[in-house]
Amino acid sequence: GQSLEQPSEVTAVEGAIVQINCTYQTSGFYGLSWYQQHDGGAPTFLSYNALDGLEETGRFSSFLSRSDSYGYLLLQELQMKDSASYFCAVLDSNYQLIWGAGTKLIIKP
Amino acid sequence: NAGVTQTPKFRVLKTGQSMTLLCAQDMNHEYMYWYRQDPGMGLRLIHYSVGEGTTAKGEVPDGYNVSRLKKQNFLLGLESAAPSQTSVYFCASNRAPTNEKLFFGSGTQLSVL
């Protein structure tokens, strides 16, 4: 079966750096996406990696290793507004997004 | 800049009732999707459409029907609601399946009693 594994919850301190990992097992792979979802809101796109390596967008970076079926989202200079759930999702060979269960990021002052 | 608009935002149904959720997008996207999200779980694809007049089943299609009569609209129907269909429903769209960015509507909280 297809599956994505990510931690259910991560806690960090304001101003710190946090990494959210995602491992996947899917039928085919086109790319790994990350989405942010605040409580009561809709998912919003953060990043997409199709090739190995690190993609940086402001305070957020995303990494992919296709050989390890692994990726991570790195959030720097954490702010209270970053408190949200973060989802990884893989675009599989059927061009469908397979979603992880999400990681709740708790930020403490 | 409306993007993706879903209606209604909230709805309470009794078991056996029917309803239709409406999704509209103004970005001229070919692909549209209906997802459900349950607590502690990621999004699960119900049905999707690759263009006007087409629909296809996703991961959890049972109990739902869809229609895409116009490119900008994607309707999700529940013919006979069941408590197991209590969930948050999200509509999304993008230009193409390999386009990495999905645009989401604000969601519909549905409770079936």
- Per-residue pLDDT for chain B (113 aa), expressed as one digit of tens each? 679 999 999 999 999 999 999 999 999 999 999 999 998 788 999 999 999 999 999 999 999 999 999 999 999 999 999 999 999 999 999 988 776 789 999 999 999 99
The pLDDT, as a whole number, for residue B1 is: 65
Residue A81 is given by DSSP the state G
Q: Which residues of B touch A1 (CB under 8 A)?
A: none
B97 cis-preceded (ω within 30 degrees of 0): no
The pLDDT, as a whole number, for residue B19 is: 95
Averaged pLDDT, groups of 10, chain A, 109 residues long:
91 97 91 94 94 94 96 97 96 86 96
The pLDDT, as a whole number, for residue B102 is: 93
What is the three-class DSSP state of B39?
coil
Parallel, antiparallel, or unpaired: how do β-strands A70-75 and A60-65 relate? antiparallel
Cβ pair B42:A91 closer than 8 A:
no
Q: Are A98 and A5 in contact (CB under 8 A)?
A: no
**Structure tokens that stand for B4 in this block:** 């993706």
Burial B53-65 (b: 16+ CB within 10 A, else e): eebeebeebeebe
Reference A81, options A1, A7, A15, A10; nearest CA is A15
Chain A contact present for B30, CB below 8 A: no
Chain B contact present for A17, CB below 8 A: no
